[in-house]
Chain A
């Protein structure tokens, strides 16, 4: 007799580069649950990219926004329950846990079980209430003030002293170092989350987090302790390891007792460098987004929770193995457009199954830089996904600058990862060139690298300078010359636009800002919002002259010599990835419309769309300046004039380049062939396939290891494939 499936509904499948915990929770259940399991993913819109991850949720269902109230939430869940029965519900977002806690009794009467703390107990530990809770229970926590009126932020911030943390009332936190930054971040966080902001003393130390499951009687069913090892610039733990700290365990259990908790829980601490004591930073009423680590550590907390929901009084799982690590990388997928349309129209859709990468074994060995998702997703990760599918490519080499580059843990993408030198002396370019050349030649000698593809803006000049020596040793590159780059830089494009040389494309009016007077002039001319940009990278949108001054100062402090101001162009965003041969002829391109962007403006969902006039114009432009190799072109279609504005052209592939292979337009493959002076690959026979698939990116925790990191440092490389 067939065992009936356990049916669980999970929320929190969105979040992009700051992933909500639902995907990791669902993935953990999928990895561990012993019997048949059906997962219903509950999402607020079709662009919850994590929900579309193949092999995790069976179906996605649109649910009512929390703002519509408890009744709307209940009615929608019960409607889904009628079509696809649910045994257990695991809400994974802070704001929805109190809602489902209030609905728990009614859900249970319909056969949907939950294990959640009471709404009152949840209210006691929200970000706004936590300081009071800690005070009344004698729990050490950083000094915190809730400032409802933003005009009082400056006074309180100065009173705290700097640095300090500015926190949103629900989520989001920024460390600030002066009053101007405090005001800037407070405005931004309050606008997003409402209710003012929290100002919190910055306790310097290491960050430790505890995930727990509490039984209905408040006792601890299971616990895992993690220390954040690699934190990115936004303070997010990208690399972490399970630990066993008896003091932290004791403290977490003491706090649990005071919380009267039921269900999943996360306690965040900072251990002061000065005193060695743990300060409680936050209590979250759901699993953390790193919870998949507990599967790696053989103490799967989501599975323990589900067992406890379905059959209370289960045995505690074994303790988490210590020293087990994760790294947060990314996964890129293509989703049939028809599935997204179905979800929008009918409110439910099946999640398509996975199409594995078709691995080939050709004769070419390719090295790729920019293989990390530690800060932003770098283009090397997508590039190598494409190369894995190229029939001519046999082996791929990941070229990493640090052991924090998340790509070094991707044994599915690389045969070997080699460390390359960071430019320790930026003032002495030739010494840096020499070190890089020496290292790449050593890699060539050991691993037979035929082609190298630098994927980061700041590397292109260096690789161009050492290209002749590399070619002499048998390593080919295909890169734009500095002259071509200058002509198509932001300043160059502004000049070409002035000469009327951009044809059907426009370029936003640009002012070079050398001082505060120029900034005020730009503000007067463009109004707000206005964009401030560095010449090579970075850009920020500002909404007032005061914000503009903060951003301008920050850019200057970070070493930007030329800062440009432009008016914001309102409209849909597009991108074109392309590759040119050594004569500047466009070999192939992928134009797309950007559908979902993360907070930092990077593309997390997009769809190929034909832009023949734009591509023709770009081909003409590239030929005119003699562009070689890859380019990432960013455009906005002005919503008023419908004209296409060129925003910038970058001398490498876009970070979404992995999509090119999914739609049979493998640009990295074309680049490798062109670099080796081989004829380009023929276009795919099914030329319409690209219109049927949407690109999506989601975060993915992968197993990491301290040994791999140490090996990269000690030996300079980690091998995954067979030589």
Chain B
């Protein structure tokens, strides 16, 4: 995903967000330590948010999904963008 400046925007979770994996490590949850908001993540969402811990762009995240799951680039990108939108609504991503 490109920012207004044309550079690929880095998507990073806010530092107050804690990630905790399920017992089997295939999914997990996001926990906002300031608001106690809990967000359960399925396996594919977990792949994306785990990669956002240190910051990543939408292209890289889409690549992670297509590598890990049997899904085409278009669908993967749509799903990643939809998740990013949701995470922004929840205010758990660092601002651009």
Contact = CB atoms under 8 A, between A and B. Distances in A.
Nearest to B46: A714
A583 interface: no
Interface stretch (B17-25, B49-57, B63-71, B77-85): B17-25
Interface in A174-197: none
Contacts of B34: 243-246
Given A707-B20, A710-B41, A711-B22, A229 B28 contact: no
A245 B21 CA distance: 24
A227 B20 CA distance: 19
Contacts of B16: 244
B6 to A, nearest CB: 33
B35 A706 contact: no
Nearest to A241: B36
* Most chain B C-beta atoms within 10 Å of own C-beta, residue among A243, A706, A709, A710: A710
Given A244-B33, A710-B27, A229 B38 contact: yes
A715 B22 contact: yes
A274 to B, nearest CB: 15
Given A243-B33, A244-B33, A710 B23 contact: no
Nearest to A242: B36
B29 A710 contact: yes
B40 interface: yes
The interface size bin for chain B is 10 to 19
Contact of B35 (A240, A245, A714): A245
Contacts of A123: none
A474 interface: no
Contacts of A244: 16, 33-34
A714 B41 CA distance: 7
A719 B24 CA distance: 11
Given A323-B18, A706-B20, A227 B38 contact: no
Contacts of A706: 20, 29, 31, 38
Contacts of B23: 707, 711, 719
A473 interface: no
A711 B28 CA distance: 7
A323 B33 contact: yes
B64 to A, nearest CB: 19
Contacts of B18: 322-323
Contacts, number: 60
B39 to A, nearest CB: 8
Nearest to A240: B36
A206 interface: yes
A65 to B, nearest CB: 39
Contacts of B35: 206, 227, 243, 245
A422 interface: no
A322 B35 CA distance: 10
Nearest to A718: B23
A246 B15 CA distance: 14
A227 B36 contact: yes
Nearest to A719: B23
Contact of B29 (A227, A240, A246, A707): A707
Give the residue among B21, B33, B38, B41 with the most A Cβ atoms within 10 A.
Answer: B38
A618 to B, nearest CB: 46
Contacts of A714: 22, 27-28, 40-42
Given A710-B22, A714-B22, A714-B41, A229 B27 contact: no
A150 interface: no
Interface residues of A, number: 21
A717 B29 CA distance: 15
Nearest to A229: B36
Nearest to B33: A322
A644 B27 CA distance: 56
A711 B21 CA distance: 9
A242 B18 CA distance: 13
A323 B29 CA distance: 12
A242 B31 CA distance: 11
B31 to A, nearest CB: 5
Contact of B38 (A246, A709, A715): A709
Nearest to B45: A714
Contacts of A206: 35
A715 B24 contact: yes
Interface in A318-369: 322-323
B31 A323 contact: yes
Interface in A220-271: 227, 229, 240-246
A285 B23 CA distance: 41
Contacts of B27: 710-711, 714-715
Nearest to A246: B34
Contacts of A719: 23
Interface string A682-718: 0000000000000000000000001101110111000
B14 to A, nearest CB: 13
Contacts of A241: 31, 36
A246 to B, nearest CB: 8
Contacts of A243: 33-36
A206 to B, nearest CB: 7
Contacts of A229: 36, 38
Interface in A40-61: none
A323 B16 CA distance: 11
Contacts of B29: 706-707, 709-710
Contacts of A240: 36
Contacts of B42: 714
Contact of A710 (B24, B36, B40): B40
Most buried by A among B20, B22, B40: B40
Interface in A390-404: none
Nearest to A713: B40
B23 to A, nearest CB: 7
A719 B23 CA distance: 9
Nearest to A322: B33
Interface string A203-231: 00010000000000000000000010100
B40 A709 contact: yes
A715 B28 CA distance: 10
A470 to B, nearest CB: 28
A146 B3 CA distance: 54
The 5 closest A-B pairs by CB, nearest first: A710-B29, A710-B40, A227-B36, A241-B36, A714-B27
24 contacts: A206-B35, A227-B35, A227-B36, A241-B31, A241-B36, A243-B34, A244-B16, A245-B35, A323-B18, A323-B31, A323-B33, A706-B38, A707-B21, A707-B23, A707-B28, A709-B29, A709-B38, A710-B27, A710-B28, A710-B41, A711-B23, A711-B27, A714-B22, A715-B24
Given A323-B33, A711-B22, 12 more contacts: A240-B36, A242-B36, A243-B36, A246-B34, A323-B36, A706-B38, A707-B29, A709-B29, A710-B41, A711-B27, A715-B22, A715-B24
Interface of A: 206, 227, 229, 240-246, 322-323, 706-707, 709-711, 713-715, 719
